[in-house]
Amino acid sequence: MAGLNEGRVVIVTGAGRGIGREHALAFAATGAKLVVNDLGADTTGTGADLHPAQQTVEDIKAMGGEAVVNGDNVADFAGAGRLVQQAIDTFGRLDVVVNNAGILRDRMLANMDESEWDAVIAVHLKGTFGPTRHAAAYWRDQAKAGNQPDARVINTSSPSGIFGNVGQTNYGAAKAGIATFTVIAGMELGRYGVTVNAIAPVARTRMTENLGFGKPSDDAKFDALDPANISPLVVWLGSPESKDVTSTVFLVDGDRIGVAEGWHRGPTAKNDGDRWDPNTLGKVVPDLVKAARTPSTMLE
């Protein structure tokens, strides 16, 4: 894979730990220059600490790569703008944005308070919108100036957002929104030479360690939950080779890569050109539901 992203400038948000850190290291190993963004908050989004991001940068430099730290909060629109501008000012260009930063504030819906909803939506959904929007404006201007980009956005959805998971209405709603954002952004930005894709990963991180994702046994030949397993697909999606793939959400865990198939119109009934009478639907809707495919779950 050496050289797959040679000279490309990549932003990875939430790259101080976990999956984001692995993305940054993997991009650097293929020749990319990195802006390592991480506010350094805990898993609930509280606090700030630049040391994790700085450690990732130091590890990239120890590999012989180039990287700089950014500590902006991607949920802040102005901060997202500064992040994008730092990449351009530091390295002279921007080719790839990987939106990875996230937090958790799990709670059953009846007990969830407004701040728990707002914080998760802000970091995940607005934190995907902000960097992407600022980068998109830059790439649009480059295209109009005759400097056609070959750019990429890789967003981070989740099986929780695609299939649902109890206790995560806030997180799941944000991740479902990211999946749809990805599809539409890919439609809009293709004219500027930009592809937009997303991953829905499963791995062992700070955010999942309380969900029963234990460490592998000492004799395990392959750790299916190693966060490094997620990064090869992201690195490829960030490369020039992926120019014909866009508006797609990928499921990735362990040694598996799958395409998440979007909503399709399933079993359908029509009423001969007339408005339905609600009194008749009891004989129609249950049969439609029975005829529909059983949805996938997070365990499949």
Of the candidates 171, 239, 242, 247, the residue annotated as catalytic is 171
Catalytic residue among 158, 160, 242, 247: 158
3-state secondary structure the chain: CCCCCCCCEEEEECCCCHHHHHHHHHHHHCCCEEEEECCCCCCCCCCCCCHHHHHHHHHHHHCCCEEEEECCCCCCHHHHHHHHHHHHHHHCCCCEEEECCCCCCCECHHHCCHHHHHHHHHHHHHHHHHHHHHHHHHHHHHHHCCCCCCEEEEEECCHHHHHCCCCEHHHHHHHHHHHHHHHHHHHHHHHHCEEEEEEEEECCCCCCHHHCCCCCCCCCCCCCCCHHHCHHHHHHHCCHHHCCCCCEEEEEECCEEEECCCCCCCCCCCCCCCCCCHHHHHHCHHHHHHHCCCCCCCCC
Check if 171 is active-site. Answer: yes
Q: Choose, from 138, 160, 175, 192, the residue flagged as catalytic.
A: 175
Q: Determine whether 175 is an active site residue.
A: yes
Q: Which positions are catalytic?
A: 158, 171, 175
